[in-house]
Every structure is written in structure tokens, then in C-alpha cells.
A and B are shown apart, each in its own frame.
Chain A
């Protein structure tokens, strides 16, 4: 598990200052173009001409490349290699390796899928790098998402570190009474019970207290709620969103029209 619990990195840039909803629209536009773009290189071109400049503008080029190389490239690369080798169906053979033949068509198909997946994941990764999760959820709540959803997402992000701290305490406590945590495979399965049991039951028992606490603070109230922190939504944001939505509509219409 990473040290920090979200990708978000605070920087002073135009991209960071944009409204989260604008960035979400941008990601949606990129995904749409990647999906319906007919060309073989569409996804690759979008990564080079849209995502890399955006990451550069956000002053996160190094971090973005780090995420791409460490997280996304292994997944996409592994898929590309495995699919190229193992999925049969092509006719033009490039070379043979024992009983396995590698065909040009399969490699092309695998590249298309892998590059699309790379594009989608890295587009969302860029959104998460430049947007704090709670800011995104607050903004979506202000736009009509039920506040309970925002509560679930944000409190999950807070509970997980608490549970990690608690599990370290439990491991320490069990060791102090002589539990051997560095032994054989079968013994480690047996360890799950004294380690996971207190963690799960402890967390579940807290649920009741927490429910009373948030009910007392008007969680179920149906009145319109006010916000401590307003997320700015400028004219620039609205202009960018309008352009992006127009671009998406143009792309979809252009793709559907002839058929």
C-alpha cells in the first residue's frame, strides 16, 4: 500500500486550479476519443499530444511518468506480450518459437487494446494526481450527487489508514504474547484468525457509535446543506467544458453518421 492514500500532489498550476468537474469532462472526452477513434495509433497519439502536455502544464510530468512506468506500463505491457503470444487467429506469421507462432494481426490487436488501456488508466491517474478526492466529491455533491456518496468515499479514505494503524497494534499485541509471525505457509494461514478477527470485529463495533454520532449532526436531515469550502467554478471552466462537450458530440456524430 502506498504511503499516501491518494495520488494527489499539491502544486501551483493552471490544471490544479481548474474545477474538478472540468477535469472530469476532459478525462471523459479523452476516453471517448480513445474508444471511438478509428486509427491504429489514436490512443498513442492522444497520450503524446494530450496527456503529456497536460502533465507538463500541471508541473507533474515526472510524477505522471513515474505512475505510468511503475503502475500502468507493467499491466499494459504484460497484457500486450501475453496476448500477442497466446491469442491465436492471425494469418501473417512473423516468427515461430517452438510450437508457438506469433502473428502480425494478433500483435496489432493486442497493441490496440493495451494502448487504449494505457490511455484510459493514465488519463484518470492524471485527474487523481491533480485533484484532491474530497474536493472532487464536494464538487460533485454541489452538482447534485447525494451527499451520502461523498460521505462514503471520504470516510473510507480516512478509515483505511486507521485500520492499518490498528492492525499494526494487533500484530504487536499478538507478538507480545508469543505469536510467531515468520513461519511456514500453513502456519501463516492459521495466523489470519488472531490477526484479522480483532480487526474486523473492532471496526464493526465502532459502526454503531459512528452512526449515532453522525445522526446527531444532522446526517439524515433533508434540508439544503451549506458548505464550509466552496470549490471555485470560473468562466474559463465553463468555456472549456462547453468546448469539450461539443468535441465529444462532434466525434460521436461523425462516427455514427455514415453507418
Chain B
């Protein structure tokens, strides 16, 4: 019993401290200082929540920029259970999937013979990647411009507005937020219709 008391009491007190007090303090600070961010970085359109800035969504309409393939099930970009494909590099299923995705891109944009950037046809680690590379956006600019009857220059302007560079010029990779880009393009249409 001599050994048991300190073990139980220290365990109980450290649990109070690290399991209850610590997360409550962090939650308090977060809700006060970073309210939007700690609640999921939700994007609003009017009073409707249309997505999270940090979570990607699936797109297959040619008028939208397409996100990366997602391996979540049963539907892609399922926020309830994140997942990668876990396909190994020589798994034949990977090569088949990549060929199918290239075929879908080509079918939506006949005549575009540019090589497809690798990130646009490989599944992300989370299945929720909100970004594509600037190269993958560039690949889709002509298609989106044609379907939307916009000039490529205007589409590129929208892409540039949704692009983040490397942090401090060094960290990470340049990237385009697909949901923000598509929402901005759709908003332009809405604005024109309103006029």
C-alpha cells in the first residue's frame, strides 16, 4: 500500500492537470483569440456555410477547377473519416487509377495535350487536401475559361488570388486553394447575373 498511494494520487493529479486543466485553458485561449480558426475555418456565402477553407471538396464539373483525387470512402472528401489510398508504387491498381483520372481530364478538355502535373492525378495523404499545385491549376485554366466564356487572363487572375506562396519565401510549397478559387469564380458569375 505504501507504493500504491503515491502512484494513484500522482496519477490522479497529473490527469486533472494535463487531461482537464490544460485542454480547457487551450480551448479558452483559442476561442477568445482565434475564434474562426479553432472552429474549422468555415467559409460563409451569405448565411450559408459552404465549406472549410482548410478542407478540400470534390469537383467534376468542367466549369470548376478540379481538386486532387481523394481516397476517402464511400464518397471522396468525406470529412468524417480522412484517409489516403495507401497504394504502393508498383501496385497495378495505382497505375490503373492514374490512367483513368488522366482519361477523365482529357475527356473534359479535348485537345489539351500538355503533360498532366502529378499531383492532379494522385490521391493526397489526407483525402482532404484543399490545394493543387500552381502547375495543376495552370493545366486547367484553358478549360475553365472556355466553359465559362471568360478570357484566360481573367481566370489566371482568379487563380493568382487563390494562390499562396512559400511561407517567408522558404517553407512549404506554392499552392492554390481550389474551393476558394471556385467560390470566387462562381461569385463573379453571380455578380454578373445580379447586374
Does A associate with B in a complex? no
